[in-house]
Amino acid sequence: MTDSPLDKSPATSLEKSAGAAPETRPVAGPVAEPGRAAAADVRASDGDRDRVADILREALAQGRLDAEEHSERIDAAYSAKTMGELQPLVRDLPEASAGAGVRGAVSEPSVGGGASDNAIAIFSGATRRGRWRVGRKTNAFACFGGIEIDLTEAIFEQREIVINATAIFGGIEIRVPENVTLRGKGTGIFGGFDVKTNDSPDTDAPVILVQGVALFGGVEAKPKRGKRLRDLRKRG
């Protein structure tokens, strides 16, 4: 037997409108403090980029990244503008997830530390020579290219200088005055990482550390005979 249309309650729509729970709206989260950028939007410093580059360099030496991956990431690291752009470059590397210092390096802005200089040669060449001021750190990256760094006439404003040298199917040549201290710490993988160590007898002499990796390429650093800093106590 079919129900008559009159048996259907006409109050259904009214009950829905009258008895329905009031509409709920999501509660807005806390409003960001005016003038304070989110962590990912904080501008990256030279020191932040350097620390990420160090992680990538170590990952390449350990075989965690191949040459192509390293090249892409290192280029992205040096062109990154914010901390949010740096974080993805090391997120899948164990050093970045396990070390508190590394987490801080890519999550919090660094303060101070001195200026750094970047020399990048990809299918090209780059040169640093003549009368130029040497920063605390110089990052040299050569991929199918060559880089020449000549410190024999440079102005040393700091006693300790670090040169991070990464050569992939390329070469990096470093020349220093013969009366400074030169030290090396690097790895050659199907390539050569050759640093001719030199200890200056003068305790005021600058100390230059060349570190990094050479993959199917070469890194060479040595004193240049006949080139000396005239006054080690007044290097500027």
- Over residues 154-173, the pLDDT tens digits come to 988 888 899 999 999 999 99
- Bigger pLDDT: 191 or 3? 191
61, 213 Cβ separation under 8 angstroms: yes
Label residue 34 by pLDDT band (50, 70, 90): low
Contact yes or no for 110/86 (Cβ under 8 A):
no
Tell me the whole-structure pTM to 2 decimals.
0.60
Q: Mean pLDDT throughout 10-27?
A: 48
Mean pLDDT of 213-227: 93
Picking from 222, 117, 108, 228, the residue whose alpha carbon sits closest to that of residue 164 is: 117
Residue 141 CA to residue 147 CA, distance in Å, equals 8
pLDDT band at 48 (very low <50, low <70, confident <90, very high): confident
Question: Is the confidence at residue 141, as pLDDT, over 50?
Answer: yes
Look-up: residue for tokens 């050479």? Answer: 214
**The pair of three-digit structure tokens given for residue 167, joined into one six-digit string:** 């050569």
The answer to whether residue 194 scores a pLDDT higher than 60 is yes
pLDDT of residue 10: 47
> Are residues 164 and 140 in contact, defined by beta-carbon separation less than 8 angstroms?
yes
CB 195 within 8 A of CB 221: yes
Q: DSSP label at 39?
A: G
Q: Which of 23-37, 76-90, 165-179, 195-209 has the lowest mean pLDDT?
A: 23-37
pLDDT of residue 233: 53
Q: Are 206 and 162 spatial neighbours (Cβ–Cβ below 8 Å)?
A: no
Q: 82 or 23, which is more confident? A: 82
Question: Which pLDDT band holds residue 99 (cuts at 50, 70, 90)?
Answer: very low
The H or E element containing residue 45 is none
User: Within a 13 Å sphere around the CA of 171, how many CA atoms are in the beta-carbon half?
Assistant: 7
Element (H, E) at 218: strand 218-224
Question: Is residue 6's pLDDT more than 90?
Answer: no
**What is the pLDDT averaged over residues 87-102?**
66
Q: Are 73 and 16 in contact (CB under 8 A)?
A: no
Torsion sign over Cα 231, 232, 233, 236 = positive
Can you give the pLDDT at residue 172?
A: 97
∠ CA(176), CA(120), CA(45), 5° rounding? 95
Dist. CA 161–CA 142, nearest whole Å = 20
In percent, how much of the chain has pLDDT > 90? Answer: 38
pLDDT of residue 12: 47
- In the chain, % of residues over pLDDT 70: 72
Query: Of the candidates 163, 151, 165, which has an alpha carbon nearest to the alpha carbon of residue 205?
Result: 151
Does the structure show a pLDDT above 60 at 24?
no
Whether residue 26 is predicted with pLDDT greater than 60 in this model: the reply is no
Average pLDDT over the chain reads 78
178 burial class (0-12, 13-18, 19+ CB within 10 angstroms)?
middle
